[in-house]
Structure 1
Amino acid sequence: MASCPIDPSIIRPIRFVAGKCQMLDQRLLPEQEIWLDYDSYEDVAEAIRTMVVRGAPAIGIAAAIGAWFAARDIDNESSREFFAEFQQRCAVLAASRPTAVNLSWALERMQRFAEANLDRSVMELKIGLEYEALAITQEDEQINRKIGRHGAPLIPDQARILTHCNAGALATGGYGTALGVVRAALAAGNKVSVIADETRPFLQGSRLTAWELQRDGIPVTLICDNMAGYLMQQGDIDCVIVGADRIAANGDVANKIGTYTVAVLAREHNIPFYVAAPRSTIDLRLTDGSQIPIEERDGREVTHIGDKALAPEGIAVRNPAFDLTPARLVTAIITESGVVSGDYVTGLRQLF
């Protein structure tokens, strides 16, 4: 596969080196920066499932690369038989995580390309799918920069911004969605700072958001999840910006577990609550958030950090990975095509 140009000053969690896909193992940050090699669709599916790579846009990129690996390794000279097997392999990738719609969006885009070109040879299909995967990868950073430009005017000078989970460069092809707005506000000359909550149980805020902001020299303060309400009460938070894993047609938002809690607190304290996400995260097929599947993960993520047990052995555990924030709690949704607020049913459709 052709290589993406790499600017070493920009964090990108996925890269192409020597014909392989390399992913920064986000399970090990901030203690270790380890890159893992992948060259099969089955291994990419496992990397998505086990959260080597995470964040809706980054999952979409990984899925597109996995789909290309799937296509590359099909041994069939009939374009239509090739496409049937390609669909079966994409289904394996689609089953790796259910909530982030960018996963299915990227796989559907790859399959649409193949289906539209069934009059071509299998070799031409494979080459075309390679370039389609590369296009998805390269487009993402530019989309995030547009999100940042649209969102930056919403952020006042000296703003103290609370964010939940990681919607930064590590969750995307580069630059970030929620943190892309922060970066764009700083680039516009505003002196802003970030308050990152730890985001239990996988600790994406403390391990990932704090790491990438500190690496970039952006002022960041870490808090426990249960401290956000107190800081709002004390007037220490000016706005909230989060990402999204799926947005329904009415503006309901699925994001990392705990987002709903933050949104309720923000509404109680009259603090703007913004969602920054690409259009690919908006699923107009779903009328509201109740139709979004919520992933339940292994309870060990709650009872342990690494090998360290935090709870009694055998305790019953719930571990939903996401929750739903109703549209009525969302001040605005920031996309690469503009900012939507108020009537989300009409506004989100107009983006398309």
Structure 2
Amino acid sequence: MSNKTIMDYDTVALDDAKSALVIIDQTKLPYSTEILELTDLKEIWDAIYLLQVRGAPAIGVAAAIGIYLEAKKIGVEETEFDGFYEKFAKAKEYLDSARPTAVNLSWALNRMEQVVLTNKTRSVEEIVKCLHDEAVEIREEDILVCRAIGEHGLTLIKDGDGILTHCNAGKLAAVKYGTATAPIYVGQEKGYSFRVFADETRPLLQGARLTAFELKESGIDVTLICDNMSNMVMRNGWVNAIFVGCDRVAANGDVANKIGTSIVATVAKRYNIPFYVCAPTATIDMATPTGNEIKIEQRKAEEVTEMWYEKRMAPDGVKVYNPAFDVTDNDLITGIVTEFGIARAPYSESLKKIFTMKS
């Protein structure tokens, strides 16, 4: 019998020998740990859309590996740059359509495209090799970036604190450490103990199925609560800080994250509890002025009316509004924790400073 836990598996990896993107199928957790080896672009598109791989950082890494694998195939058919690039660009556009809200998807694909354009005078074979190296680098960078977010986030809390988180911005949403959970995992490595409250996160239950699962597997003291219980744990004085991830940060500090995040932020402000967003700079979109311009993904009604239930739990024909994300206004956010440090209001200025460090 294997003694492996979910923490022993790679969330996203490349098996170059098999020309496969290797992921944990997160739709099957926590009931079973199934590893998928995806070799076809449609399979990879489906995996991103169907949330088999999810979380902004993990989506970006999966996209980079996916477009490299497709380029590897194209390179067999097209040995001249123009023909290669035409098919590459078409594949990139297709993969980019899988999820509209998470900016890491387009960020990773644009970065891979830039590799192609920068090396256009080289042979297609050499370009494909450069794409391989870039995809591997993006994956390794994600580990370092999340670790740095953890170090910065850890300065905001102390041993024994109670922490609340929403959705899953953990190890399963990245290659390692996660974003919102990075301070927790880095703190654990240093001998800290925390009490974590994980919101269930309806309707897809990422907090229940994924965050509670990975924290429990890691030996973290975690308590699962329904989304509408967050007010009680805050009112009871059990929460010292809130850490969430996000899928896109606008230039003014507005943040799009899993639906329900803005409610947590609003309640936190009522009780003067610091609310922190953990975001790699790859998730910060300086080209989007405010949260009003962020496209919010709308998902199928069945996720609300029948998923997770033996029988349909809502009347046939009822109208359903099912946005995957909401926008948390910047005035509700205490700080945005990046790999380069912590941005604070006014975010239009502090985020620009963060990007000067990046460059």
Given candidates 166, 178, 181, the residue that maps to 1:179 is 181
Displacement after TM superposition at 1:205 (Å): 0.3
Q: What SS is found at the alignment partner of 2:155? A: helix
Displacement after TM superposition at 1:9 (Å): 5.2
In terms of mean alpha carbon deviation, does 83-92 or 304-313 score higher?
Answer: 304-313
Deviations 1:6-65 (A, max 9, x none): x99545312234422221110111011111110122211111011100100000011111
Which blocks of at least 5 consecutive residues in structure 2 are unaligned?
A: none
The AA in structure 2 aligned to 1:15 is A
Q: Which residue of 2 aligns with 1:332?
A: 335
Deviations 1:67-125 (A, max 9, x none): 11221111112112211221111000000010000000000000001000000011111
Q: What SS is found at the alignment partner of 1:333? A: strand
Given candidates 228, 231, 236, the residue that maps to 1:229 is 231
Q: Which residue of 1 aligns with 2:307?
A: 305
Displacement after TM superposition at 1:181 (Å): 1.2
The AA in structure 1 aligned to 2:68 is W
Q: Compute the TM-score of the two structures, normalised by the length of structure 1.
A: 0.95
**How many positions carry a matched residue from both structures?**
346
Q: For 2:9 and 2:124, how far apart are their aligned partners in 1?
A: 35
Displacement after TM superposition at 1:177 (Å): 0.6
Q: Does 1:350 align with 2:315?
A: no
In terms of mean alpha carbon deviation, does 85-94 or 310-319 score higher?
Answer: 310-319
Q: For 2:338 and 2:29, how far apart are their aligned partners in 1?
A: 28
Residues 17-36 of structure 1: pairs in structure 2 closer than 5 A: 17=15, 18-19=17-18, 20-36=20-36
Residues 6-17 of structure 1: pairs in structure 2 closer than 5 A: 10-17=8-15
Deviations 1:108-160 (A, max 9, x none): 00000100000001111111111111111121111100110111010122111
Deviations 1:291-316 (A, max 9, x none): 11000000101111346222122211
Check 1:134–1:65 CA distance in 2 against 1; reply closer, same or farther (3 A cut): same
Deviations 1:323-351 (A, max 9, x none): 00011100000011111112211111111
The AA in structure 2 aligned to 1:191 is S
Q: Which residue of 1 aligns with 2:58?
A: 58
Q: Compute the TM-score of the two structures, normalised by the length of structure 2.
A: 0.94
Q: What SS is found at the alignment partner of 1:190? A: coil
Identical residues among aligned pairs (%): 46
In terms of mean alpha carbon deviation, does 254-263 or 184-193 score higher?
Answer: 184-193
The AA in structure 1 aligned to 2:270 is E
* Runs of 4+ that moved beyond 4 A: 7-11
The AA in structure 1 aligned to 2:46 is E
Q: Residue 228 of structure 1 contacts residue 262 of structure 1 at CA under 8 Å; is this kept in 2? A: yes
The AA in structure 1 aligned to 2:178 is G
In terms of mean alpha carbon deviation, does 71-80 or 172-181 score higher?
Answer: 71-80
Q: For 2:181 and 2:115, how far apart are their aligned partners in 1?
A: 31
Q: Residue 277 of structure 1 contacts residue 334 of structure 1 at CA under 8 Å; is this kept in 2? A: yes
Displacement after TM superposition at 1:186 (Å): 2.7
Q: Does 1:321 align with 2:324?
A: yes
Check 1:8–1:218 CA distance in 2 against 1; reply closer, same or farther (3 A cut): closer
Which blocks of at least 5 consecutive residues in structure 1 are unaligned?
A: 1-6
Q: CA RMSD in A?
A: 1.4
Q: Which residue of 2 aligns with 1:4?
A: none
In terms of mean alpha carbon deviation, does 300-309 or 259-268 score higher?
Answer: 300-309
Check 1:11–1:143 CA distance in 2 against 1; reply closer, same or farther (3 A cut): farther
Q: For 1:55 and 1:182, how far apart are their aligned partners in 2?
A: 17
The AA in structure 2 aligned to 1:322 is F
Deviations 1:232-259 (A, max 9, x none): 1121211110001000011000000000
Check 1:41–1:150 CA distance in 2 against 1; reply closer, same or farther (3 A cut): same
In terms of mean alpha carbon deviation, does 22-31 or 255-264 score higher?
Answer: 22-31
Deviations 1:184-204 (A, max 9, x none): 223333321210010000000
